[in-house]
Structure 1
Amino acid sequence: MTERRPRRHDPERRDRIVEACLEVVGEVGVAGASTRRVAAAADVPLGSITYHFDSVDALLVEAFERFARRMSDRFEAAMATVHGIDEARRAVVDLIAVDVLTDPHELVLTHELYTLAARDPRYRRLTHAWMARSRHALERHFDPPTARLLDAMIEGLTIHRALDTEPRDRDEVELAVDRLTRTSPGDS
């Protein structure tokens, strides 16, 4: 009779799988994110993936939902702590230059999400919700049209940062934010 190994109690396993999925996608992209790689990164048996998720796609959706929520939370926290238009401008510059989406891993995840969103309405809804949260956080300090333009500029500059061979100069970012927000109704 074969002795049965005790079952491993692992209440964080599902969470670890989702985090490992983000790690793997950040390293090799969605196309390279096999269940085998995710299981190895999460240090779980391969069967744990199918136990916790109906499909690889279900895992990807949950992982990208988590990533988008995490990024939105950081964005909102940065904008919630400022007072006045000048602090708001500095916070936007810091979001672009220092705080959000400056990590190469996060940039890859963002671009992988954008690619999925271009083809799949589920991911498009996810990116739409992320953009709506960003605009809402910006609207605490800027009128809605300015917030929309700032959000687009932030997205565009993160794309440039990911693809450009030259680093972005903070002065250039400050100039862009100033020009875009100079005529905001909250200006004094």
Structure 2
Amino acid sequence: MSGTRREVPNDPGRAGRILDAALDVVADVGVHRTTHRRIAARAEVPLGSVTYYFNGMDDLLAQAFGRLADTMSVLYRRTLADAASPAEAEDAVVELICGPAYATTREVTLLFEMYAYANHHPEVGVTMRAWLLRSRESLGLHFPEPTCRALDALVEGWPMHRAFDDAPLDRALVAATVHAVVTGLGTSGGGGPSGGAA
């Protein structure tokens, strides 16, 4: 079939493209400048589609940020699940902080916007809390709960600091910090391949 997406009457992927477009717009101009028109243009859909699939901008942004949290949580989990030893688990945490796949520049920008938006929108606050729990559960494959809390703060916070730092992350410093947290808080209290809950 020829033509643009605007001409496709049955487009099951349209809602997802609108959500992805909303995240792109937020990353580009911020929540405060995000409009239905900008999102429709980025998604290459008629303006009416945006209001057809979503009950206003708050609903659209809540679902878009939920999509972001889900996507990042899957990668977070996969990175940790692949670790088969305590050393590999620490390396996985370092990779989440320093690697190119998790917390990209775009995603860090979206995290800033999401945190600010969640302050005034309870539904997104619920998404944020659920995301924190999912991250800690993933870390719990290898580490006890207090260590999970500390490591998750590093994983979320260090890339956000990097956004305003002129220098790239020092991977050796990050690795030494992760190791200090793990050894300082201890590794008792779990099962799994490297000491966490299976």
Alignment TM-score, normalising by the size of structure 2? 0.87
Question: Counterpart amino acid of 2:130?
Answer: A
Q: Which residue of 1 aligns with 2:148?
A: 147
Q: Which residue of 2 aligns with 1:137?
A: 138
1:116 is displaced (CA, Å) by 1.1
Q: Which residue of 2 aligns with 1:100?
A: 102
Question: Counterpart amino acid of 2:71?
Answer: R
1:9 is displaced (CA, Å) by 2.7
Q: Alignment identity in percent?
A: 40
- The secondary structure found in structure 1 opposite 2:163 is helix
Aligned residues: 182
- The secondary structure found in structure 2 opposite 1:168 is coil
1:49 is displaced (CA, Å) by 0.8
Q: Give, in whole Å, the separation in 1 of the partners of 2:45 and 2:187.
A: 54
Q: Which residue of 2 aligns with 1:124?
A: 125
1:181 is displaced (CA, Å) by 0.6
Q: Which residue of 1 aligns with 2:159?
A: 158
Question: More helix by proportion, 1 or 2?
Answer: 1
Question: Counterpart amino acid of 1:15?
Answer: G
Cα distance, 1:51–1:182 mapped onto 2, change above 3 Å? same
Q: Which residue of 1 aligns with 2:15?
A: 14
Deviates more, 1:119-128 or 1:18-27: 119-128
1:7 is displaced (CA, Å) by 6.7
Q: Give, in whole Å, the separation in 2 of the partners of 1:114 and 1:122.
A: 12
Cα offsets for 1:73-95 (capped at 9, x unmatched): 10001111111210100000001
Cα distance, 1:7–1:163 mapped onto 2, change above 3 Å? closer
Question: Counterpart amino acid of 1:57?
Answer: D
Q: Which residue of 2 aligns with 1:110?
A: 111
- The 8 Å contact of residues 97 and 154 in structure 2, kept in 1 or not, is answered as no
Q: Is 1:185 paired with 2:187?
A: yes
Q: Give, in whole Å, the separation in 2 of the partners of 1:121 and 1:58.
A: 12
Alignment TM-score, normalising by the size of structure 1? 0.92
Structure 2 unmatched runs, 5+ = 1-6, 189-193
